Each structure stands twice: as C-alpha cells, then as structure tokens.
Amino acid sequence: MSEPENEKKPVMKGLVLSGGKGTRLRPITHTGAKQLVPIANRPILAYVIDNLANAGIKDVGMIISPETGEEIKATMGDGSEWGVKITYIPQTEPKGLAHAVVVARDFLGDSPFVMYLGDNLIGCRIDKFVDNFNSSGSDAAILLKPVDNPSSFGIAEVAEDGTIERLVEKPKEPKSNLALIGVYIFSNAIHKAIDEIEPSARGELEITDAIQRLVSNGSPVQSQVLIDTWWLDTGKKDDLLAANTIVLDEWGKRDIKGSVDGESEITGRVSIAEGAVVKNSTLRGPIVIGKNSVIKDSFVGPYTSIGDGSKIKKSIIEHCVILAGAEIDHVDRIEDSLIGRDARVVRCHNKHKALRLMIGDDSVVEV
C-alpha cells in the first residue's frame, strides 16, 4: 500500500556548482575548470562527490558552464563510480550562486538539498551536518569557518547562543570573521527567498542575500562552525601545494599496483598506480604516482603527487605537484613546485651555461 501523498518526505538531493571560467588558474592546467584541478591525483570534484555520497545522497545535480561543462562531464561521467546519479544542468551565464538554484529548480523540485561549491575542499564529512538538519526542521543550515580575510567571503554575524543575526556578502567592514564556506543545506523555502532578492553590486544573485532573507522572515537557520578541520581555497600555487600536502598527509595510503624493481626503496605511504614503473629510485611517502608513469634513477620526497604518464629521470623532487604527462630529466633538485601538464624540465648538456625557457602566460620561475 502506498503512503498518503502528504506523508511522503522528499529525499535530500545534492546540487554541486561547477560553473565559471576558472581563469585564476591560468596557466596551471589546460582546463579552465578549477573544480578539476587534481589534488593527490584526483579532481577536487571527486572529493565533493565522495562527501555527498557518504552522506547518503544519491541524486546529484551538477551546474556546468558553456566554457568548461564538457570537460567536467567527460571527467565525472554519470556518477556511477560513486553510486550516485549525476544530472548535468547548464547555466549559460554566471549570474550568481542563487541564480544556479533557479536554473536547477526543475531538478530540485520540492526536495531539501545540500548545495556544495565544486571547488571547495574541506577536511570533514558532512553526514552529521545533514542528519542535524533533517531532525531540526530548519529551512537552512550553513557551515562557517573563522578566516583572516573576512572581506573576501560571505560573513555571518552569530549571537552567543548560535543564532544567526545577519549575513553579509564580502563586507567592507566585517563585524565577524566567520565565513560561509560554500556548503549549505536548504529546504524548499529557499526558492521563495531567492524570488525576493535583487542582484548585488557585482550583478549576481547572491545565495548569502537569499539566506539573509530567510533570517529576516524569521525562518529557522542553523549554523555550525568548523574548528578542528581545514578548508582550502585551491586557486593559487601555494594553496594547491598546501591542499596536496594536507590530503596526502591525512588520506594518503600505501598501495603499490605498479612495478618496483629490486634496486628501489619505498618508504611509508606511497601509492603507485597500475602500469607505473619505478626503477633504481628512492620514494619516501606520502606520495601518489599516477598510471603509466616512469620514475628512474631518482629520489621522490614526501608530499609529492605525480600525474598519469609522467617521466621523472635522474632527478630529485620533493613537495611538488607534477601534472599528467610532464617530464623531468637530470634536474638536481625541484622543491615546492607545480609543473603543468605535458611540461618538460630537462637539463641541457651543453657547455654554454644558460637557461632556455618556454614559459606560459602568468608563469613564475624562481632561479
């Protein structure tokens, strides 16, 4: 016997925002999609979907832009790798986070949903946050984290008892340092709140303003402050290296699938993917090495990720992110570096001592 219509509780869905042009990352990757930047050899979006799937969410809408949508689809597929169903939803113009919810209205129906910014990497699971929301009867729940530069974020002013007093998008004179980290849960009440707001000074429909509208209307809005975990903005080189270091440190595993010869020494949490070949080299984890890579006569030190199909020969590298297809040959020592896809760093065996460079736009070389 089916349940009466009014007793059916809609199941929580996921809405991942993966639009935008990602220009901040030039020239790190060929892709414009900042959500696909690899951290420990997995795109940031893979961690986002891990987290939603772990919270029991099976139905995920993914907002994509005309610029980077195809690459995102090709990388993430239908979601079956995570046991979820991904529905791609095009947002043809970047008109803001709340506008993305408007675009996803048909997909969302009246379900509650977790909205997750696809370039966000956080060090905790969200299942408890989802459970709390489900049992609270709130219309919105937000995750907050203290930051040093509150003017760059949506900021929450929170009373001592945890009640949200006010939310402001990128305040010039912030009254709090608690930033909205880009993971939100909403009931269907958010749609009406979005209908009631106007575009901000930057011309976007801000989700922060829509949540403020809920607060002003007296709707229950919960918040939780992340204290013991990290949250990373992965837009720039040092952020990317920091994210790579933390993910390898906390989640890195020893898992050797590729081949390692008897002259090599592997210490600690080193992951070597299928088809990779390690010869006469010393590897000290945590490290990940992608499929079909070759490491020969080299030392690879901790906190290094080497992408698929890379070649490292007669070189010493440590604390680096090397993207797929790159080649490093005869280089004495590379540290704290980000090497782009298919890039080559090679020693030239020429008597004439000089650097010979072909460097992409916005690159930085420290010699």
The residue ranges that bind ligand G1P (CB under 6 A) are 97, 117, 153-154, 169, 179-182, 206, 208
CA distance 91 to 95: 8
Residue with smaller CB distance to ligand G1P, 97 or 185: 97
Minimal CB distance to ligand G1P: which residue?
A: 154
Output the smallest distance, CB 172 to ligand G1P, in A.
15
Helix-then-strand count for the chain, H and E: 8, 30
Residue with smaller CB distance to ligand G1P, 183 or 343: 183
Residue with smaller CB distance to ligand G1P, 202 or 351: 202
Residue with smaller CB distance to ligand G1P, 170 or 296: 170
Output the smallest distance, CB 179 to ligand G1P, in A.
5
Burial (CB count <10 Å: 0-12, 13-18, 19+), residue 332: exposed
Output the smallest distance, CB 324 to ligand G1P, in A.
27
Residue with smaller CB distance to ligand G1P, 96 or 112: 96
Residue with smaller CB distance to ligand G1P, 220 or 235: 235
Output the smallest distance, CB 264 to ligand G1P, in A.
41
In this structure, which amino acid lies at residue 31? T
Output the smallest distance, CB 207 to ligand G1P, in A.
7
Sorted by sequence, the CB contacts under 8 Å of residue 312 that are 6+ apart come out as: 281, 293, 294, 295, 296, 298, 300, 306, 322, 327, 328, 329
Residue with smaller CB distance to ligand G1P, 183 or 270: 183
CA distance 286 to 356: 32
Output the smallest distance, CB 204 to ligand G1P, in A.
8
CA distance 46 to 149: 28
∠ CA(270), CA(274), CA(279), 5° rounding? 65
Residue with smaller CB distance to ligand G1P, 184 or 303: 184
Beta-strand pair 282-284/221-225: unpaired
∠ CA(137), CA(181), CA(210), 5° rounding? 55
∠ CA(123), CA(136), CA(198), 5° rounding? 80
Output the smallest distance, CB 182 to ligand G1P, in A.
4
Burial (CB count <10 Å: 0-12, 13-18, 19+), residue 251: middle
Beta-strand ranges (E) seen in 25-102 are 38-39, 42-43, 59-64, 85-90
CA 277 to chain centre: 29
Output the smallest distance, CB 185 to ligand G1P, in A.
15
On whether the CB atoms of residues 260 and 275 are closer than 8 A, the answer is: no
